[in-house]
Amino acid sequence: MEPSRYFSEYFDTMYSSLSSIDSSKLAEAAGIIWQCSESGKKVIVVGNGGSAAMASHVAVDLTKAAGIRAVAFNDADLLTCFANDYGYEEWVVEALNAYADPGDVAILISSSGTSQNIVRGTDRARDLGLKTITLSGFSENNDLRNRGDINFWLNSNSYNIVEMTHHTWLVAIVDYLIQAHLDEK
């Protein structure tokens, strides 16, 4: 395929993916995060691979730019300690057991929706009394898609399209919260 055609089609797909979201769900997620912050609780963001990098970015932006306390479970020592002791599929569960408090919000990201550490972590977060926001893609019937209080799903089988769309949706929520905070002053 000719490069300019490839990129044109790629960005058309990206635009379509970004626009596929129901913006009322973004507003609902922002409201849950805002309420969490107003209650003195924290946001926990977790993912694997590219989604872990996204989790770190979003947690830092929530904390620094939006003034909302947030952490990402992305430290090598945390991940390898819990994965070594409990198994990779259980490390998110064990990290939540150690760090989560009732009333916190957990944002759990799995592009495929099949990462068992994220799926099990979502279930554990709900058991611990956390509001949960999930982001997934690929199969419409993936394991994660309907497990959270709010579930974002993208109809795509391309990791980069799914990850970049998830990232944009999340930073859009952050930017909205920043603006809402400014409007409040």
Residue 8 belongs to domain spanning: 3-184
pLDDT averaged over the chain? 96
- Inter-residue contact 151 to 22 (CB < 8 Å): no
pLDDT for 54-103, tens place per residue? 999 999 999 999 999 999 999 999 999 999 999 999 999 999 999 999 99
Q: What is the pLDDT of residue 138?
A: 97
Q: What is the pLDDT of residue 181?
A: 74
Q: For residues 184 and 74, which has the higher predicted lDDT (pLDDT)?
A: 74
High-pLDDT (> 90) share of the chain, %: 96
The count of domains in the chain is 1
CB 72 within 8 A of CB 96: no
**Quick check: 4 pLDDT over 90?**
yes
pTM for the predicted model, two decimal places:
0.96
> Is the pLDDT assigned to residue 150 strictly greater than 80?
yes
134 beta partners: 108, 151
Domain at 10, CATH number:
3.40.50.10490
Q: Which of 90, 79, 78, 88 is nearest to 120 (CA)?
A: 90
CA distance 149 to 135: 11
> Per DSSP, which regions of the chain are E strands?
43-46, 70-72, 105-110, 131-136, 150-153
Q: How far apart are CA 22 and CA 92, in angstroms?
A: 28
Whether residue 25 contacts residue 152, with contact meaning beta carbons closer than 8 Å, is answered with yes
- pLDDT tens digit string along 104-143? 999 999 999 999 999 999 999 999 999 999 999 999 999 9
